């Protein structure tokens, strides 16, 4: 055994150098340096790293054929080392972006090259233990308290130096030939290669999500990676990596991967609850070391295929980079690991056992079933518009979305256009963009609704929703009486939402109205038709305030024949009446008639005045 391990030292160092660099620098110190720089954006930088990581992985088979293993290893190790040094001195977001690309590409090439060539660097009889040692040492050293707690620059220097230890190790290699493994594919809908890629994808996804949650939850970080736990973590990592190596050597790959999944799934469930996070801290390093060792061994020793470089490239680009990016994305978005994800991942592991059961069913039927079942389940759950935990305004916004109001109404007043006089004061674009989703819309089949709260009263809006044509006889708007039926609260919530911004800028609206001057225009007719269309429902056919809807309002509509306003020939009177007709009386139930043309407005004003005049005569 001793001789076997002596034979394998080059491979062990290569694995150690690669893993240590990844753990302490790419996954850790680089992010700290990036955050410390202040200006650099985390997401694009990480996206570049992932993209070039995938590209580097997929390019490696071609590069191996062109440059050979030794040359490629030398280049990749050098790129990784220089990137780490560069990150220490970097001071501009663009430099960080370039460095993240170099780290991604360098690591992509390095991992695929190392794992592809392990059969040339390791003893054929003790390869598993050697991989376990290399992986375990890297994890243990990364968790070694003085290193783990060092500042990011020190960690970067250390990574830059230690990754270069792989260089002398790569100088000499021997060609070892032996049969490549084969795996049975009985009963599976896909080959063993695809199965193993899916297995590792699930494991990396899970690991990355758990890692992100621990890293970004101070309480959990304290309970899992606090100073008191670092020695423990280092020990667990080392022991489980050795255990994994030993099991892999015995061809117990399913035990290793399934064991890693069960442990990581339990750790994830523990991490979802702060009270049980402490158990997650014990389980997480064990699960990670188990599968990480298998991931290193897979391309050269465990997976079938005539082209190990391509196998490694696809495995690391798919399971490694893709899985890790998705895991981080999922944790970032949800802040926990959802149970359905664990169930789906579990089904992947069980698929060799499960799929023979379904072999007589068409695959497509299963997929349809899954998609439809999920969709219908959600539909059956019902709309959560009425959730009590939200404010009435938020619930009202949900109703606005749900009913598709945005398809006919805008919520944006264009500055310095006639919009301002028609639809009310401007609200800044920044303020509007604060809403999620933004409800600017792109059509005005109906009026703009941003300031409807200072143009219409609650009672008017309610009546208009219940029966639009009762107030606007020619309107094509459908009725929404169902939003107000029985115990329904959706209608009132919607009104709450619509009233809000308008009520805030009521004084600005008053000012706009005061600044408005009617224009002289030729009268189209005597205004009686307009009166009949726009005023009769409230003011009655004779203008005496006794229309069919008169009883709905907080105050009875004005009797335009007998008062309330005294008749006078003062020059301001006509203007004042025109203002009331056009803009209504904000704060009361009297609505405006903003879309009337100058001609129509003049005609209607004259008609209303004539009602009083006729009476006087």
Task: Provide the binding-site residues for other proteins, judged by CB under 8 A.
Answer: 51, 54-55, 58, 310, 314, 363-364, 367-368, 371-372, 374-379, 383, 385, 400-408, 410, 412, 414-417, 422, 428-429, 432-433, 436-448, 472, 474-480, 482, 533, 594-597, 600
Q: How far is the CB of 379 from other proteins (least distance, A)?
A: 6
Least Å distance, CB 254 to other proteins, is: 23
CB-wise, 91 or 474, nearer to other proteins? 474
Cβ closest to other proteins, residue 146 vs residue 404: 404
Q: Which of 82, 432 has the CB closer to other proteins?
A: 432
| Shortest Cβ 229–other proteins spacing (Å) | 35
Q: How far is the CB of 427 from other proteins (least distance, A)?
A: 11
For residue 269 the two structure tokens come to: 């469930």
Per the document, the length of the chain is 617
User: Of 226 and 375, which has the nearer Cβ to other proteins?
Assistant: 375
Is the Cβ of residue 135 or residue 602 nearer to other proteins in the bound state?
602
Tell the smallest beta-carbon distance from residue 443 to other proteins (Å).
6
The label of the residue with tokens 């609200």 reads: 427
Q: How far is the CB of 426 from other proteins (least distance, A)?
A: 9
Eight-class DSSP state of 182: -
Rounded-to-integer distance, Cα 357 and Cα 327, Å: 30
Q: How far is the CB of 325 from other proteins (least distance, A)?
A: 9
CB of 51 or CB of 150, closer to other proteins = 51
Torsion of CA 126, 258, 51, 42, to 10 degrees: -110
Burial label for 134, CB within 10 Å (0-12, 13-18, 19+), is: buried
d(CA 498, CA 406) in angstroms, rounded, equals 12
Q: How far is the CB of 411 from other proteins (least distance, A)?
A: 9
For other proteins, the closer CB: 171 or 595: 595
Neighbours of 248 (CB within 10 A): 26
User: What is the DSSP secondary-structure string of 451-506?
Assistant: TGGGTS-HHHHHHHHH-HHHHSTT--PPP-GGGGSTT--HHHHHHHHHHHHHHHTH
Residue 565: count other Cβ atoms within 10 Å of its Cβ.
13
Pick between residue 354 and residue 370 the one whose CB is nearest to other proteins: 370
- Compute, in degrees rounded to 10, the torsion defined by CA atoms 415, 418, 423, 425: 40
Alpha-carbon gap, residue 452 to 443, rounded angstroms: 16
Rounded to the nearest whole angstrom, what is the least distance from the CB of residue 124 to other proteins in the complex? 29
CB 539 within 8 A of CB 547: yes
Smallest gap from Cβ 614 to other proteins, in A, equals 27
Distance of CA 111 to the CA centre of its chain: 30
Q: Among residues 250 and 433, whose Cβ is nearest to other proteins?
A: 433
CB closer to other proteins, 173 vs 490: 490
**Residue 71 CB, nearest distance to other proteins (Å)?**
21
Q: Using DSSP, state whether 103 is helix, strand or coil.
A: helix
Residue 281 or 584: the one with the smaller Cβ distance to other proteins is 584
Structural contact between residues 69 and 174, judged by C-beta atoms closer than 8 angstroms: no
Neighbour tally for 310: CB within 10 Å? 17
- Rounded to the nearest whole angstrom, what is the least distance from the CB of residue 290 to other proteins in the complex? 27
Q: How many CA atoms lie within 13 A of 27 on its CB side?
A: 21
Specify the residue, 29 or 449, whose C-beta has the smaller distance to other proteins.
449
Tell me the angle at which helices 42-67 and 323-334 cross, rounded to the nearest 10 degrees.
170
- Write down the least CB distance from residue 489 to other proteins, Å: 15
Secondary structure (DSSP) of 138-176: HHHHHH-HHHHTS-HHHHHHHHHHHHTTHHHHHH-----
Nearer to other proteins, 418 or 616 (CB): 418
Q: How far is the CB of 318 from other proteins (least distance, A)?
A: 9
- How far is the CA of 524 from the CAs of 141, 171, 277, 533, in angstroms? 90, 96, 78, 15
d(CA 29, CA 80): 13
- The nearer residue to other proteins, 477 or 585, going by C-beta atoms, is 477
CB of 375 to other proteins, least distance (A): 4
Which residue in this structure is represented by tokens 């959560």?
Answer: 384
Least distance in Å: CB of 407 to other proteins? Answer: 4
Residue 302 is given by DSSP the state I
DSSP 87: H
Nearer to other proteins, 36 or 334 (CB): 334
> Which residue's entry shows tokens 């490549």?
180
Q: How far apart are CA 349 and CA 205, in angstroms?
A: 14
Nearer to other proteins, 36 or 401 (CB): 401
Is 26 in contact with 103 (CB distance < 8 Å)? yes
Q: Is the dihedral of CA 403, 406, 409, 411 positive or negative?
A: positive
Question: Are 203 and 209 in contact, with CB atoms under 8 Å apart?
Answer: no
CA distances from 391 to 387, 396, 454, 566 (A): 9, 8, 21, 45
């Amino acid at each position: 055994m001793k001789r076997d391990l002596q034979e394998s030292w080059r491979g062990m160092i290569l694995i150690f150098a690669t893993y240590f660099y990844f753990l302490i620098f790419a996954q850790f110190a680089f992010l700290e340096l990036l955050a410390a720089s202040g200006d650099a954006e985390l997401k694009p930088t990480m996206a570049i790293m992932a993209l070039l990581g995938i590209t580097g992985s997929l390019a490696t088979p071609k590069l191996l054929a062109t440059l050979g293993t030794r040359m490629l290893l030398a280049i990749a190790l050098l790129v990784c080392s220089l990137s780490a040094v560069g990150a220490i001195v970097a001071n501009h977001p663009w430099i960080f972006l370039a460095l993240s690309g170099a780290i991604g590409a360098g690591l992509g090439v390095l991992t695929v090259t190392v794992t592809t060539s392990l059969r040339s660097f390791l003893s054929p009889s003790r390869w598993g233990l050697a991989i376990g040692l290399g992986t375990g040492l890297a994890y243990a050293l990364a968790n070694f308290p003085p290193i783990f707690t060092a500042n990011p620059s020190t960690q970067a220097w250390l990574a830059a130096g230690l990754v270069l230890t792989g260089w002398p190790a790569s100088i000499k290699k021997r060609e070892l030939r032996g049969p490549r493994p084969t795996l049975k594919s009985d009963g599976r809908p896909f080959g063993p290669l695809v199965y193993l890629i899916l297995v590792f994808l699930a494991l990396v996804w899970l690991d990355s999500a758990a890692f992100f949650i621990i890293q970004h939850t101070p309480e959990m970080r304290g309970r899992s990676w606090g100073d008191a736990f670092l020695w423990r973590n280092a020990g667990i990592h080392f022991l489980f990596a050795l255990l994994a190596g030993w099991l892999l050597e015995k061809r117990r790959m399913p035990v290793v991967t399934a064991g890693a999944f069960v442990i990581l799934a339990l750790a994830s469930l523990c991490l979802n609850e702060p009270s049980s996070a402490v158990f997650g801290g014990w389980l997480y390093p064990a699960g990670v070391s188990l599968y990480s060792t298998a991931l290193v061994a897979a391309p050269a020793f465990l997976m079938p295929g005539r082209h190990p470089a391509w196998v490694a490239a696809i495995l690391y680009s798919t399971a490694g980079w893709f899985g890790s990016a998705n895991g981080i994305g999922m944790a970032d978005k949800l802040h926990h690991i959802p149970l359905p994800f664990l169930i789906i991942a579990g089904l992947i592991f069980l698929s060799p056992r499960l799929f023979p059961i379904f072999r007589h069913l068409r695959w497509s039927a299963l997929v349809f079933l899954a998609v439809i079942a999920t969709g219908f389940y959600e539909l059956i759950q019902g709309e959560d518009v009425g959730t009590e935990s939200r404010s009435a305004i938020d619930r009202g916004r949900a109703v606005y979305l749900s009913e598709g109001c945005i398809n006919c109404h805008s919520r944006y007043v264009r500055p310095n256009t006639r919009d301002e006089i028609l639809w009310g004061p401007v609200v800044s674009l920044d303020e509007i963009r604060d809403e999620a989703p933004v409800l600017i819309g792109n059509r005005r089949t109906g009026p703009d609704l941003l300031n409807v709260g200072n143009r219409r009263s609650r009672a008017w809006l309610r009546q208009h929703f219940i029966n639009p044509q009762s107030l606007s006889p020619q309107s094509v708007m459908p009725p929404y009486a169902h939003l107000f039926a029985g115990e329904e609260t959706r209608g009132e919530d919607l009104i709450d939402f619509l009233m809000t911004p308008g009520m805030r800028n009521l004084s600005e609206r008053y000012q706009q109205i005061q600044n408005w001057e009617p224009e002289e225009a030729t009268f189209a007719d005597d205004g009686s038709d307009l009166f009949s269309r726009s005023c009769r429902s409230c003011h009655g056919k004779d203008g005496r305030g006794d229309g069919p809807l008169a009883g709905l309002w907080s105050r009875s509509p004005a009797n335009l024949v007998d008062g309330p306003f005294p008749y006078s020939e003062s020059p301001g009177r006509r203007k004042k009446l025109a203002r009331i007709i056009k803009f209504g009386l904000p704060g009361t139930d009297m609505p405006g008639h903003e879309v009337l043309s100058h001609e129509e407005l003049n005609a209607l004003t004259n008609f209303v005045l004539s009602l009083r005049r006729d009476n006087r005569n």
